[in-house]
Amino acid sequence: MSLLMIGCGKMGGSLLTRWATSTNHTITIINPSLVKAPQGVIVKQAIDELFDQRFDIIVIAIKPQLIEQVLPLYRRHLADSGCIISIAAGYSVASIEKLIGEQAVVRVMPNLPAQIGRGVSGLYANSRCSAVQIDNAVALTDAVGYTHLAATEDELDRVTAVAGNGPGYAFEIARCWIESAIKLGFSPQTARELVLKTLGGSMELALTSKEDIENLRNSVTSKNGTTAAGLNALMQDKKLEFLFESTVSSAYQRAVALR
């Protein structure tokens, strides 16, 4: 199949690196500034270099605020039974169809660990997508990690609030934890190693374990021990729980406002 990616920055580039090696698609990218692309990927800098080429899949990987101006120009480059895959945050299927008419549209919300094949992607396909088009889109998101199929766009917005934005939450938690280690007397480098390796290892363990998270937490907490002392502070008045509820719900409300 032929795939055109419009825009190849942080996220487009992350997807491209994996897609170039894990799919058989002929991939073309368009990006105004020169980008380093994996071997076999065709690189163009402007739409007129496409001449009359048409593509089975067009991936929108530009910033949402550019879509209105850029996407209509690509309509003639979509094959008759082609499919649009948009990774643009908060840009609804209805807004895309307003620009290019009724089409098979898949919205994907990937997250940054896609770069290392450990991403989590939410995927919503509109009713115009065939089973084959959905399978093709899922194969692309599976190539960069785990795929969650959303039944509605609202569910996609909720996946965004939990997972799409998740790396941001994870990095901020790690930053605070590292700061606390530095205050306890460790160098910034040692603090980073201690925290990131503890977080990474604990989450790897949780992923491979059948135990629920609460049991895992209890299994490392002895009565009156040091973990219990730390957790007493962390869990006091359920502040952390409330903070997370409001973090995720604020992100969801923002996604709703962007629709």
Binding site for ligand NAP (CB under 6 A): 6-12, 30-33, 61-64, 66, 70, 87-89, 109-112, 164
Total number of residues shown for the chain: 259
Among residues 61 and 181, whose Cβ is nearest to ligand NAP?
61
Among residues 28 and 133, whose Cβ is nearest to ligand NAP?
28
> In the complex, what is the shortest distance from the CB of residue 144 to ligand NAP, in angstroms, rounded to a whole number?
11
> In the complex, what is the shortest distance from the CB of residue 254 to ligand NAP, in angstroms, rounded to a whole number?
12
3-class DSSP assignment, residue 108? strand
Which residues are bridge partners to 121 per DSSP? 147
> In the complex, what is the shortest distance from the CB of residue 250 to ligand NAP, in angstroms, rounded to a whole number?
17
Quote the CA–CA distance of 16 and 115 in Å, as a whole number: 9
**Residue 244 near residue 234 (C-beta atoms within 8 A):** no
> In the complex, what is the shortest distance from the CB of residue 76 to ligand NAP, in angstroms, rounded to a whole number?
15
> In the complex, what is the shortest distance from the CB of residue 204 to ligand NAP, in angstroms, rounded to a whole number?
22
**Shortest-Cβ-distance residue relative to ligand NAP:** 9
Q: Write b or e for each residue in 117-152: b if 16 or more Cβ atoms lie within 10 A of its Cβ, otherwise e.
A: eebbbbbbbbeebeeebbebbbebbebbbebbbbee
Q: CB count, 10 Å around CB of 11?
A: 19
Among residues 37 and 178, whose Cβ is nearest to ligand NAP?
37
Among residues 31 and 133, whose Cβ is nearest to ligand NAP?
31
> In the complex, what is the shortest distance from the CB of residue 110 to ligand NAP, in angstroms, rounded to a whole number?
5
Among residues 109 and 140, whose Cβ is nearest to ligand NAP?
109
**Residue 162, amino acid:** V
Quote the CA–CA distance of 56 and 77 in Å, as a whole number: 9
Quote the CA–CA distance of 94 and 160 in Å, as a whole number: 18
Among residues 54 and 217, whose Cβ is nearest to ligand NAP?
54
